[in-house]
Structure 1
Amino acid sequence: MAVRHQAERIGLALTTAAGPLTILADVLGLLDEVSPNGIQLVTLLILTSVTMFLLLEVRRFEILDSVDRRLAALDIDGTAARLRQERYGGVERVHQEFPVNHLRTLIREADTEVSVLQTFIPNLHLLQDDMQHALTRRGDARIRILLLFPKSPVANLRHEALRSVHSPTPPVDVKVAIEHNLESFARLSAALPEQARARLEVRVYNSLPSMAVYRADDSYLVSSFLHGMLAIDAPQTEIKGSDTARGAEVQEELNTLWQIGKPVGLADWQHSIELMDFDNVNVS
């Protein structure tokens, strides 16, 4: 193979040099001694040499075609999904900032379920129209919201955790923020058709949340409750697939808190909250 490549390089060099040499020979009249049409003859010889050289390269082109066929036969997307599931537990990427536009699109296009687990939802005003769209467009998507019980001792703990000596503004009043969310969901519910209204469910839980979660179908955005920072301001881990290791873990947490949570009657959420009695205050 090395000998062939060396011969090809020599042949290409000679063919390249033949052009200017032929022109020089024609200017000097040397080609007249060969033939009256010497320049045409030599040109034909050069073209023939180039043609033969290209024919020798056809085999290489066939090899490239074979490589293309092999690549086309590979299930690249399937392999990527398998590696994502096996090695990364379903983690797609980590967003350094909350991807609100990405989440809005996921919510609007959700076919089965949108779920939110938060103490309160600071960015609800950005998502409310998309939730309404998901509930009213053709389909059976439901929305499940989990908020912290506003009278829970955890609300005070989270209020204190949001204090930051570096922030000139006072910390968020968690209890007031939760109640504001409940009022927003009450208005959303009242604006929905009856069938869509039944697919909007809000529950409150009296427990220490382990994570903040935004779910749309099989996509999850997960973050942590850090001191001095809202969960939406922390990095967001995007997870794909409830059957992946990380996705199953997050979904299990959603299911657990949904089971221990109490449903809020949005027609009169204040009265509904007043009637709630969490016998065992669980903050662990």
Structure 2
Amino acid sequence: MASRLRRTFERTGLYTAACLSIAVAVADLAGWLDLIAPGGTIQKITLLVLGSMALVVTLEVDGFAKLDEIDAKVDAVRRAVAQGFEQGLVAVHPNLANEDYLRYVKQARQVTILNTWIPNLQRLKESLGDALDRRAEVRILLLYPNSMVASLRDDALRARGRSNPEWNVRSGVRHNLGILKELVTEKRRRAGHLKVKVYNSLPSAAVYKADTHYYVSVFLHGQLAIESPQLEIQGSGSLLGRQFQQELDTLWEIGVEIDPLDWERDLERKRL
């Protein structure tokens, strides 16, 4: 509203100046300017120049209005981006790119992965080992393989007529635990920096976290979480960061710790 009113005043002033410029030109041709400023050539030139400038600006006023519209759109985009950062959302990706996540793992002091099981753990293994070598804390949350939720997730992965023997929660969790055991024994790493828990609850999301950077996805039918769209979130204090950090904390509290060096016996001994 204020912009329209300002534009109306601008146009009124420019139209008035343009009309005066035409009147000045006519008056000059008729010799009337000599009555106002006898022998004032400089004054005549000044009046004609100012009048011509007013006429040109009047013709371009719509162009200025379009520039105002562009500025308004830029401001709207800037506000939307700022709001997105306040909420924590950095970008949305079609799937989880291991190399993108590992860039953050490389410098992280705490790494947390929440999933039913981690299909890409073998690709992350070396970087997680490097994190343990520099004494970063690595926390892994896996679904208890004997839970009812594991069967339900298996059914969901077989949806839409798709069947893959590798998409199996029970075998996937056990395979992950085997990889984690290798992780701490290959170079005689300190197992104390690797914390592994299994949970018997319905997970709401898969989360790959490095310090305060998150990649979050949901569990869709017929599709692995790492193959689903990923929300890239920055900041544990942001709106989205707080929500998913709370989910991580809740499942971590629910979970039962498993010794990666003796995981087979722990799974049999600890009933959830």
TM-score (norm 1): 0.65
Name the residue aligned to 1:102: 100
8 A contact 1:159–1:171 mirrored in 2: no
Aligned length: 195
**For 1:153-201, what per-residue CA distance to the aligned partner results, in whole angstroms no more than 9, with x for missing partners?**
111010000013343645722101110001110111223545x421101
- Residue 136 of structure 1 aligns with an amino acid whose one-letter code is D
Whether contact under 8 Å (1:162, 1:171) holds in the other structure is: no
Residue aligned with 2:231, SS:
strand
**Which of 118, 122, 146 is the equivalent residue of 1:121?**
118
CA distance in 2, matches of 1:208, 1:83: 31
CA shift digits 1:117-166 (9 cap, x unpaired): 000000001100000011113xx420000000011111101000001334
Matching residue of 1:29: none
Unaligned runs of 5+ in 1: 3-78, 279-284
- For residue 155 of structure 1, give the secondary structure of its aligned residue in structure 2: helix
Any idea what the Cα deviations from partners look like across 1:13-58, whole Å, max 9, x if unmatched? xxxxxxxxxxxxxxxxxxxxxxxxxxxxxxxxxxxxxxxxxxxxxx
Q: What is the match of residue 209 of structure 1?
A: 203
Equivalent in the alignment of 2:162? 167
8 Å Cα contact 2:158/2:164 also seen in 1 = no
User: CA contact under 8 A between 1:148 and 1:206: conserved in structure 2?
Assistant: yes
Matches within 5 A, 1:28-67: none
Q: Determine helix, strand or coil for the equivalent of 2:96.
A: coil
The verdict on how the C-alpha distance between 1:129 and 1:170 changes in structure 2, with shifts beyond 3 A counting, is closer
1:180 aligns with 2:175: yes
Amino acid at match of 1:198: G
1:156 aligns with 2:156: no
Q: Which amino acid aligns with 1:238?
A: E
> Counterpart of 1:134?
131
- What corresponds to 1:92 in structure 2? 90
For 1:244, give the aligned amino acid. Answer: S
Task: Tell me if the contact between 1:164 and 1:171 (Cα under 8 Å) persists in the aligned partners.
Answer: no
Work out the CA distance in 2 between the residues paired with 1:264 and 1:81.
42
Give the Cα separation in 2 of the matches to 1:92 and 1:113.
Answer: 20
Q: 1:260, CA displacement in angstroms?
A: 0.8
1:227 to 221, 224, 243: 221
> How far apart, in 1, do the equivalents of 2:191 and 2:163 lie?
41
Please state whether the residue corresponding to 2:201 is helix, strand or coil: coil
The percent identity for this pair of structures is: 41
Q: In structure 2, what is the Cα distance between the partners aligned to 1:165 and 1:185?
A: 32
Mapped to 2, the partners of 1:177 and 1:102 lie a distance apart of: 23
Q: Which residue of 2 aligns with 1:76?
A: none
Pick closer, same or farther for the CA change 1:81–1:277 going to 2, 3 Å.
same
Answer whether contact 2:104 2:210 (CA < 8 A) is retained: yes
Kept in 1, the 8 Å contact 2:93–2:230? The answer is yes
Cα distance, 1:104 vs. partner? Answer: 1.4
> TM-score w.r.t. structure 2 length?
0.67
CA contact (8 A) 1:213 1:223 kept: yes
Distance 2:105 2:142 in 1: 18
Distance change >3 Å, CA 168–CA 258, structure 1 → 2: closer
Q: What amino acid is the match of 1:99?
A: A
5+ residue gaps, structure 2: 1-13, 15-78
- SS for the counterpart of 1:165 is helix
2:265 is equivalent to residue 271 of structure 1? yes
AA aligned to 2:125 is: Q
SS of corresponding position for 1:203: strand
Of 242, 252, 255, which aligns to 1:258? 252
Q: Partner amino acid for 1:96?
A: P
Is the Cα contact below 8 Å between 1:136 and 1:192 reproduced in 2?
no
